[in-house]
């Protein structure tokens, strides 16, 4: 992750990214404050609905008008937001922020990086809170990573159950209660693997190479089309369709038989989704493209 500066805490928590959807507003919002949210998919929508329990939420941008197939460029902030929240990679819709949005004025930047954390270098200093469920690029489910600036930890609400205050976990190095030990152990191994593979620069290069191969083929294909706008495409989750639900189902069935599993898209997008997290090998993308070409030659 590049370097995490000393004035940040790294917390190993439980409850998944979904628990952070409410923990963050619970710790930092009140009925007389407002937070801005960029709504780019169902995960950010869920974050908004949880945050509404604790303060005023302003949707500063949304791409819901086109079923979240793009990253919005026009952002209308509220007057004095406490923080700006965004989802760096939209797992279901196959879109990803290419650049980090700016938090306006004195507000701080919060990022749900569940599905692209450690896929590329991150300038941690631009963020005040980065959180992620471990299960994509970090390790097994059951562990949630939170990187949070210490001044926020100190200033957060004290009127909360002990386990729900960031200061509890920051002051005890995530060992206030029994931490998710197995997940933390595996995370350690994954981080060593990343370091031995060349670090985040190498991850980023590898991920771009894998995704661009597939997008290049999709651009040329007479049968398969990508669903995300060209300037918004994710390097982690590539979503595509044939335009015919029956053909999609047939392709998924054939691909599954050939050992290419898990290609069915989320029901809100349909079609196919190729998830290519850090651990997914380049040869897997080659195999997928070969299967798609074969299917195209039979059905285009």
Residues found near ligand PMP in the complex (CB under 6 A): 16-18, 43, 87, 91, 112, 114-115, 133
* Catalytic entry in 36, 112, 116, 248: 112
Contact 24, 37 (CB under 8 A): no
In the bound complex, what is the minimum distance in angstroms from residue 43's beta carbon to ligand PMP? 4
User: Which is nearer to ligand PMP, 54 or 131 (by Cβ)?
Assistant: 131
Residues counted in the chain: 300
In the bound complex, what is the minimum distance in angstroms from residue 17's beta carbon to ligand PMP? 3
User: Which is nearer to ligand PMP, 57 or 291 (by Cβ)?
Assistant: 57
Strands (E), 127-281: 129-133, 144-149, 225-226, 237-241, 272-275
Q: Within a 10 A sphere around the Cβ of 172, how many other Cβ atoms?
A: 12
Collapsing DSSP to helix, strand or coil, 287 comes out as helix
Q: 85-116 burial by CB neighbour count: b if 16+ within 10 A, else e?
A: bbbbbbbbbbbbbeeebebbeebbbbbbbbbb
The dihedral through the CA atoms of 2, 107, 158, 13 has a sign that is negative
User: Which is nearer to ligand PMP, 15 or 104 (by Cβ)?
Assistant: 15
* Catalytic entry in 36, 116, 136, 248: 136
In the bound complex, what is the minimum distance in angstroms from residue 293's beta carbon to ligand PMP? 29
Is-catalytic flag, 112? yes
Is-catalytic flag, 136? yes
**Pairing relationship of beta strands 83-87 and 56-62 according to DSSP bridges:** unpaired
In the bound complex, what is the minimum distance in angstroms from residue 91's beta carbon to ligand PMP? 3
Q: What are the residue numbers of the active site?
A: 43, 112, 136
């Amino acid at each position: 992750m590049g370097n995490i500066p000393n004035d940040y805490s790294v917390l190993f928590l439980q409850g998944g990214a979904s628990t952070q959807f409410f923990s963050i507003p619970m710790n930092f919002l009140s009925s007389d404050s407002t937070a801005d949210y960029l709504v780019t998919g169902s995960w950010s929508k869920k974050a908004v609905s949880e945050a509404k329990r604790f303060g005023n939420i302003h949707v500063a941008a949304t791409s819901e008008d086109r079923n979240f197939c793009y990253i919005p460029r026009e952002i209308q902030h509220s007057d004095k937001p406490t923080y700006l929240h965004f989802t760096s990679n939209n797992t279901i819709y196959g879109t990803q922020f290419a650049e980090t949005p700016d938090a306006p004025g004195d507000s701080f930047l919060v990022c749900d990086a569940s599905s692209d954390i450690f896929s590329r270098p991150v300038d941690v200093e631009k963020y005040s809170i980065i959180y992620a469920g471990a299960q994509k690029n970090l390790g097994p489910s059951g562990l949630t990573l939170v990187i949070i600036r210490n001044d926020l930890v100190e200033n957060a609400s004290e009127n909360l159950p002990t386990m729900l205050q960031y200061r509890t976990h920051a002051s005890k190095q995530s060992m206030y209660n029994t931490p998710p030990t197995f997940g933390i152990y595996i995370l350690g191994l994954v981080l060593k693997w990343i370091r031995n593979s060349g670090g985040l620069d190498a991850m980023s290069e590898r991920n771009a190479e894998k995704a661009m191969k597939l997008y290049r083929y999709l651009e040329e294909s007479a049968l398969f089309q990508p669903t995300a706008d060209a300037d918004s495409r994710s390097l982690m989750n590539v979503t595509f369709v044939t335009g015919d639900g029956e053909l999609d189902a047939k392709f998924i069935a054939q691909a599954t038989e050939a050992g290419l599993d898990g290609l069915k898209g989320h029901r809100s997008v349909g079609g196919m989704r190729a998830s290519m997290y850090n651990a997914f090998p380049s040869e897997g993308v080659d195999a997928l493209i070969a299967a798609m070409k074969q299917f195209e030659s039979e059905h285009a």
